[in-house]
Chain A
Amino acid sequence: MIALIPLFPLIGFLINGSWYAFVQAAPGRRKAGSGITGAIATMAILGSFVVSCLLFLQLQGLPPESRVLEQTLFPWMTFAGFKLDMAFRLDSLSTLFTLVVSGVGTLIHIYSIGYMSHDATPGKFFAYLNLFCFAMLMLVLGASLPILFLGWEGVGLCSYLLIGYWYSDPEKASAGKKAFVVNRVGDFGFLLGMFLIFTAFGTLDFEALRSAIVHGGHAALPEGVAVTTVTAICLLLFVGCMGKSAQIPLYVWLPDAMAGPTPVSALIHAATMVTSGIYMVARLNFLYSLSPTAMAVVAAVGGVTAFFAATIAITQKDIKKVLAYSTVSQLGYMFLACGVGAFTAGVFHVITHAFFKALLFLGAGSVIHGMHEEQDIMKMGGLRAKMPVTFATFALGWLAICGIPPFSGFFSKDEILWLAFSSEHGSVLLWGLGALTAVMTAFYMTRLFTLTFLGKPRFSEAHGEKHGHGHGHGDDHSHGHAPAGVHESPFSMTGPLQVLALLSLIGGFMGIPHMSWLEHWLAPVIPAHQATGHVAAEMEWVLMGVSVAGAALGIFLAIRLYADLELPRQFATKWAGLYRVLFNKWYVDELYERTLVRPIHALSQGLWKNFDVAVIDRIVLSFGRASQWSGQTVRTIQTGSIQFYALVLLIGIVLSVGYLIYGLA
């Protein structure tokens, strides 16, 4: 039964993939609409969603401590000295993720039917989407680290393929490659972490690992495993998370990943894939909680990333880039939560974030779609009237991410902030970082919202015509309806927006403080957080007030500032240096380019030309040359003179006779 969840998208992928490869791709075929392929893909993911729901209900029917469903398909790698099954395990944590992935996934699939309706190769697109869902579901369902890793790399692949979906544009293709490579850097850590786990615990299965550590609900180090080992494991695995979930220093790929079609950004680069790092940390919470050092690192990286990304988001002009940095920032939040031991809060934020960020991205997609591929918010404005549904749903998402009660973002964000302050791993500093980020989040999101939907339009109606050239051949969908001007998107797109808006609105109620259903539900996997005594309970309300006030402040500032564009321009000129640094994303890409990419490239070039060819191969060839040379030299002895030949003969005799006499005497 569990296997059906990933199986459906796999089948969808195979159908659409073969359809694309053998029918659609052939040059000269007439363009196919996205209808059939989209329907197939949607049916597939919907199937997963239905199965997920059924299984969720089944789980709910079980007593909490035995809420685990397992299915072993076949032995994957099993031989003397090693055993690994292709096995799935559905427990209270993974069931949440399957629901989110397949649920949000279904919505985004539906959305894509509209969004990709004018694309040349929708078969390919939906095949990729299905493949992604398959991999993502494998990731959350895997019963052991290697299977998780299978999904982990699988989603990376899909991310790569979808970012570079419009491959004709070299920049987009590069962005895809960058995503893959940066993720590979993370996977490097992941792999090593996995090896270390295997060496230390002799297993890679989550349950076996858990039972090696957790005894009677209490995590303890087994015999012979040092804390440093656990710290090393956690940190190495966290390197993997940095890659996949875009944390400092490996976050650089995510903003570039916005090159992909917007539904992809929503599904992969906001709602699901990027949260798999949090999933893994939550999954291995028993391991992380053993290592305070690792926890501190996770929290610090998360907090810093949250703040850092927010600073960049403030200055970005590309609607998707803003959202991308906001995603990085929110992911940082989640890790902050995990780092302070609030795994449940982290997961909570994953879920709410999935709702509102998917909503925001899809809304942005709707805007872009309506604006004929315009992504610069400076060239938008006043879309409220043109796109009422998009505006309304986007507004809900905006409020949710700003943390305004009672929208979903408020609950999860507040939970994180509170625990960052109150938990034993937490501190005022972390809280401060989080709160400051919250203010900035409210600020830049409001800026985005204002510039896009409010104010006066800063574009001409015929504007759409001159855009879309960048996508080359693969991006036909912008040409189809340019004369129509800016317009609201079709229902296949706004429908999902509305569902997501609803979810953003009510999603938070699953985790209302002190009566959190979520915490209760996750208790078998993540032990309920023990309230610590050192912070007064009233503080919670105080802090909540502070954060809401902060959000309100941010919103207020942004609305004031961006009502008129003159003010921000003045700020930008006044603090030109700071602005430039922020606008250029702290020059991190350039730094990597200078310190890693170019040196390694130069090194490789040098190794090839100056070492491989000039040294190694030359040494090899020098044997041949030396033989040739000595041959040339020796052959000159052959002078052709009889007498010289006789002389050599004589010399030979004299030498040998001399040796004989000397030896015998």
Chain B
Amino acid sequence: MIQQVEPWVVLSFCAAIFFIGFAGVLIRRNILVVLMCIELMLNAVNLTFVTFSKELQHLGGQMSVLFIITVAAAESAVGLALVIAMFRTLRGVDTDQIRLLRE
């Protein structure tokens, strides 16, 4: 018999991923990695939605995930475009390089 995974375990897992993603945003200097971390956060959210959807026996959550994935794709596109633009002017994709605007 396959042991049912308790929802709280999954949810905690999601939360952990979410915060790992956030931590990545905080720590990583490479903007591409930062973008990935944001994706990670969104995916943690997706997983949460799915988990709840399963728990609640309600399709809305899974529908949401579809939308989120779409939006995330668009977001990545814009993000990557910005990275390219940045690379063109700064010759680098490091977050430390963009500290011109401050105080």
A631 CB, nearest partner CB in chain B, Å: 10
> A641 to B96, Cβ gap below 8 A?
yes
Q: Mark B20-50, 1 if CB is under 8 A from A, else 0.
A: 0010011101000010000000000000000
Nearest neighbor of B31 in chain A, beta-carbon distance: A642
> A650 to B95, Cβ gap below 8 A?
no
B101 at the interface (CB under 8 A from A): yes
A646 to B89, CA, bound (A): 24
Quick one: which of A635, A638, A639, A647 contacts B26, CB cutoff 8 A? A647
Task: Indicate the size class of the contact surface on chain B.
Answer: 10 to 19
> B26 to A641, Cβ gap below 8 A?
no
A224 at the interface (CB under 8 A from B): no
Contacts of B101 in A (CB 8 A): 640
A643 at the interface (CB under 8 A from B): yes
A636 at the interface (CB under 8 A from B): yes
B81 at the interface (CB under 8 A from A): no
A241 to B86, CA, bound (A): 92
Quick one: which of A635, A642, A647 contacts B98, CB cutoff 8 A? A642
Main DSSP-derived SS at the A contact region: helix
B99 at the interface (CB under 8 A from A): yes
A234 CB, nearest partner CB in chain B, Å: 75
Contacts of A640 in B (CB 8 A): 98-103
> B103 to A641, Cβ gap below 8 A?
no
> A639 to B102, Cβ gap below 8 A?
yes
Nearest neighbor of B28 in chain A, beta-carbon distance: A643
Nearest neighbor of A632 in chain B, beta-carbon distance: B103
Count how many chain A residues have C-beta atoms less than 8 Å from C-beta atoms of the other chain.
11
Quick one: which of B22, B34, B100, B103 contacts A638, CB cutoff 8 A? B103
> A646 to B26, Cβ gap below 8 A?
yes
Nearest neighbor of B19 in chain A, beta-carbon distance: A650
Contacts of A647 in B (CB 8 A): 26
Q: Mark A579-621, 1 if CB is under 8 A from B, else 0.
A: 0000000000000000000000000000000000000000000
> A643 to B99, Cβ gap below 8 A?
no
B41-97 interface (Cβ within 8 A of A): 95-96
A386 CB, nearest partner CB in chain B, Å: 93
Contacts of A635 in B (CB 8 A): 103
A16 to B31, CA, bound (A): 94
A268 to B98, CA, bound (A): 88
> B100 to A641, Cβ gap below 8 A?
no
B86 CB, nearest partner CB in chain A, Å: 12
A505 to B50, CA, bound (A): 130
> A646 to B25, Cβ gap below 8 A?
yes
Contacts of A642 in B (CB 8 A): 34, 95, 98
Contacts of B103 in A (CB 8 A): 635-636, 638-640
Query: Which of A636, A641, A643 counts the most B-chain CB atoms under 10 A from its CB?
Result: A643
A639 to B101, CA, bound (A): 8
B1 CB, nearest partner CB in chain A, Å: 36
Contacts of B27 in A (CB 8 A): 643
> A650 to B22, Cβ gap below 8 A?
yes
A635 to B103, CA, bound (A): 5
> B99 to A639, Cβ gap below 8 A?
yes
Contacts of A643 in B (CB 8 A): 25-27, 29, 95
A646 to B41, CA, bound (A): 14
Nearest neighbor of A642 in chain B, beta-carbon distance: B95
A633 CB, nearest partner CB in chain B, Å: 11
B96 CB, nearest partner CB in chain A, Å: 7
Contacts of B22 in A (CB 8 A): 646, 650
A647 to B99, CA, bound (A): 15
A508 CB, nearest partner CB in chain B, Å: 96
Nearest neighbor of A638 in chain B, beta-carbon distance: B103
A642 to B29, CA, bound (A): 10
Nearest neighbor of A643 in chain B, beta-carbon distance: B26
A641 CB, nearest partner CB in chain B, Å: 6
Contacts of A639 in B (CB 8 A): 99, 102-103
Nearest neighbor of B27 in chain A, beta-carbon distance: A643
> B25 to A641, Cβ gap below 8 A?
no
> A638 to B25, Cβ gap below 8 A?
no
A74 CB, nearest partner CB in chain B, Å: 72
A646 to B95, CA, bound (A): 12
Nearest neighbor of A635 in chain B, beta-carbon distance: B103
A574 to B22, CA, bound (A): 106
A638 to B99, CA, bound (A): 10
Nearest neighbor of B98 in chain A, beta-carbon distance: A642
Contacts of A646 in B (CB 8 A): 22, 25-26
Contacts of A638 in B (CB 8 A): 102-103
A638 to B96, CA, bound (A): 14
B82 CB, nearest partner CB in chain A, Å: 12
Contacts of B29 in A (CB 8 A): 643
A163 to B103, CA, bound (A): 69
Contacts of B26 in A (CB 8 A): 643, 646-647, 650
B103 CB, nearest partner CB in chain A, Å: 5
A643 to B53, CA, bound (A): 33
A63 CB, nearest partner CB in chain B, Å: 98
A642 to B96, CA, bound (A): 8
A639 to B29, CA, bound (A): 15
A156 to B17, CA, bound (A): 95
A424 to B29, CA, bound (A): 109
Nearest neighbor of A647 in chain B, beta-carbon distance: B26
11 contacts between A and B (CB under 8 A): A636-B103, A639-B103, A640-B98, A640-B100, A640-B101, A640-B103, A642-B34, A643-B27, A646-B25, A646-B26, A647-B26
With A639-B102, A646-B26, A650-B26 known, 5 other A-B pairs at CB within 8 A are A638-B102, A640-B98, A641-B99, A646-B22, A650-B22
Q: Which residues of A contact B (CB under 8 A)?
A: 635-636, 638-643, 646-647, 650
Q: Name the 6 nearest CB pairs between A and B, nearest first.
A: A640-B102, A640-B99, A635-B103, A638-B103, A642-B95, A646-B26
